[in-house]
Amino acid sequence: MLAPDVSPDGWDIENKDLLVNDPDDKIVSARYLFDSFCAVLADIKRTDILKKHTETYE
């Protein structure tokens, strides 16, 4: 069952956003998920990727 302020197709028209979720969990903004994903990718440095696998255990 959807909350009264949530459209059945998952659109937040006012904020021009798509709402996604697990039906048994809270509703999450697709914009929030995408922004979080971009922040994680932006934080990855070249040295994080080029380490030897044994260095990752430290």
Query: Over the stretch 1-55, which tens digit does the pLDDT of each residue have?
Result: 455 555 556 788 888 888 887 767 777 889 999 999 999 999 998 887 887 777 7
Q: Is residue 5 part of a domain?
A: no
Three-state DSSP state, 15: coil
Q: Is residue 4 part of a domain?
A: no
Q: Is residue 36 part of a domain?
A: yes
Indicate if the pLDDT at residue 58 is higher than 70. Answer: no
Domain containing 53 equals: 11-57
Q: What distances in angstroms separate CA 50 from CA 38, 41, 47, one per listed residue?
A: 20, 15, 5
Q: Is residue 2 part of a domain?
A: no
Instruction: Say what the pLDDT of residue 38 is.
Output: 96
Q: How many domains does the chain have?
A: 1
Which strands form 17-20's sheet, in the order they lie side by side? 11-12, 17-20, 28-29
CA torsion sign, 11 to 14 to 33 to 2?
negative
